[in-house]
Amino acid sequence: TARKHPHFILPLPREGSSGAEIHFLQWSFPALDTATVVFTHLAEYKLRGEFSQPHTTITMHLELVEEKGLVLMQGQVLEGRGVNVEEARWLVLCLQKFYGGEEGDDVSRRRLLEKFSQGDETFKVEELVDEAEKIV
């Protein structure tokens, strides 16, 4: 799924606010058994594009997937970039729910991912926020 949909956005609900902050994520595959996801504030990505600075980096080590069914994840949250560890954890949880490869995944989440990747004009951020709120 990540190779097919390497870019996506995820909402981060803000305490005491009815809104959510939107974060851009991008997958890369530096080795056969490694996948990396970087998270950036969407506003910064819109402003700086490929030169934007990520606030969180997650590296997934896939060496044990076949043998043990495990993926080891290593995360780094950069201080002073506007996201704390708990908020980064929320984004990773959302990432797993939208990109999870298990049978029975929520069809509406998968549809949102596909619409975003295809640039479909019917993609609505409000629907994304609603789906993310259902996760917890």
What is the per-residue pLDDT across 63-119, written as a single tens digit (0 to 9) for each?
Answer: 999 999 999 999 999 999 999 999 999 999 999 989 885 555 578 888 999 999 999
Question: Residue 78's pLDDT is what?
Answer: 96
Give start and end residues of each alpha helix (H) in 49-124: 65-68, 85-99, 107-118
Amino acid at 106: D
Are 13 and 20 in contact, with CB atoms under 8 Å apart? Answer: yes
52-61, 77-86, 99-108, 127-136: least confidently modelled range:
99-108
Question: Residue 135's pLDDT is what?
Answer: 73
pLDDT at residue 43 is higher than 70: yes
Q: Which two tokens stand for residue 10?
A: 């995820």
Q: Which two tokens stand for residue 83?
A: 């996201």
- Across-strand partners of 40? 24
DSSP label at residue 54: P
CA 41 remoteness from chain centre:
11
Any long-range contacts for 100-107 (C-beta under 8 Å, 24+ apart)?
Answer: 101/1, 106/131
- The rounded distance, in Å, linking the Cα atoms of 65 and 63 is 6
Predicted TM-score (pTM) above 0.85: yes
State how far the alpha carbon of 76 is from the alpha carbons of 3, 25, 101, in Å: 22, 14, 23
